[in-house]
């Protein structure tokens, strides 16, 4: 079964300093058809205006992944981490027993465009943790590069859930596929550009959900950046 999730059907909130699109129920957006897909609980596409950001706030029992598309996202947390996340980098924060953090666009002229992705952890009450790694464009060009996994293989960041996230860049005749093991789910989110995914032409913000399908196939990209999730049911 394949389910197309058009970008325009996502939840939307524009707070002036923040323009946010929600793929799953979040904050004031409630849609019982789109609460989660397996342990994938949140994909928020956020654009933060220059000099603005999220003040200090708390999380617990969530695996939070940030993926920056444009600009830079400043991060500071109660574990003592201070960093700036830029395109090509993936940050993971295990909220576990509780963590506070802030995220800010320190640039006074450019918008920061990023995806914030939440996974439900396999266990509650984990020790909070943090990890950040960079992946060059050539690692993602015309292929799916593993950037998130449960065991940190292939130099991916590690989350506490049996889920994987791949990132890829596709143009023209570049193509790739991903096998889905029996009983597992997949989710494809187009971050930028356009490409064809299993016969569906998807554009930025669109998604394709998989259940009881053997594989994901991608090709015919037009400056496409895509995330593919392999998830337990």
Of 129, 132, 118, the residue nearest 96 (C-alpha): 129
Q: Report the distance separating Cα 228 and Cα 216, nearest Å.
A: 9
Report helix, strand or coil for 81.
coil
pLDDT of residue 77: 86
CA distance readout (Å), 64 to 108, 160, 215? 26, 10, 26
pLDDT of residue 51: 95
The angle subtended at Cα 15 by Cα 13 and Cα 20, nearest 5°, is 40
pLDDT of residue 140: 98
Low-confidence ranges of the chain (pLDDT < 50): none
Q: Give the containing element (helix H, strand E) for 44.
A: strand 40-48
Q: Report the distance separating Cα 158 and Cα 193, nearest Å.
A: 28
Residue 136 belongs to domain with CATH number? 2.60.120.10
- What's the chain's average pLDDT? 97
pLDDT of residue 1: 95
What is the pTM assigned to this prediction? 0.97
Q: Which residues contact 218 (CB under 8 A, 6 or more apart)?
A: 144, 168, 170, 175, 176, 177, 188, 195, 196, 197, 226, 228
CB atoms within 10 A of CB 51: 12
Structural domain of residue 120, as residue ranges?
2-232
pLDDT of residue 160: 98
Question: Domain tally for the chain?
Answer: 1
pLDDT of residue 28: 93
pLDDT of residue 63: 98
pLDDT of residue 80: 86
| pLDDT, tens digit (0-9, with 9 covering 90-100), for 52-101 | 999 999 999 999 999 999 999 999 989 988 889 999 999 999 999 999 98
Of 133, 202, 124, 194, the residue nearest 161 (C-alpha): 124
């Amino acid at each position: 079964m394949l389910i197309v999730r058009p970008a325009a059907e996502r939840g939307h909130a524009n707070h002036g300093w923040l323009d946010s699109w929600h793929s799953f129920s979040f904050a004031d957006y409630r849609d019982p058809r789109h609460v989660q897909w397996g342990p994938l609980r949140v994909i928020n596409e956020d654009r933060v205006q220059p000099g603005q950001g999220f003040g200090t706030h708390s999380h617990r029992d969530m695996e939070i992944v940030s993926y920056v598309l444009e600009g830079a996202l400043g991060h500071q947390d109660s574990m003592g981490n201070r960093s700036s996340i830029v395109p090509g980098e993936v940050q993971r924060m295990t909220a576990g027993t509780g963590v506070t953090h802030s995220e800010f666009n320190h640039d006074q002229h450019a918008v920061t465009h990023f995806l914030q992705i939440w996974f439900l952890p396999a266990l509650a009450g984990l020790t909070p943790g943090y990890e950040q790694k960079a992946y060059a464009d050539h690692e993602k060009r015309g292929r799916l590069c593993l950037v998130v996994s449960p065991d940190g293989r292939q130099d991916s960041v590690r989350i506490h859930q049996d889920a994987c996230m791949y990132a890829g860049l596709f143009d023209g005749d570049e193509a790739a596929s991903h096998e889905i093991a029996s009983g597992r789910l997949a989710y494809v989110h187009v971050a930028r550009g356009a490409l064809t995914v299993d016969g569906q032409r998807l554009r930025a913000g669109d998604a394709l959900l998989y259940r009881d399908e053997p594989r994901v196939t991608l090709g015919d990209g037009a400056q496409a950046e895509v995330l593919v999730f392999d998830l337990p049911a």
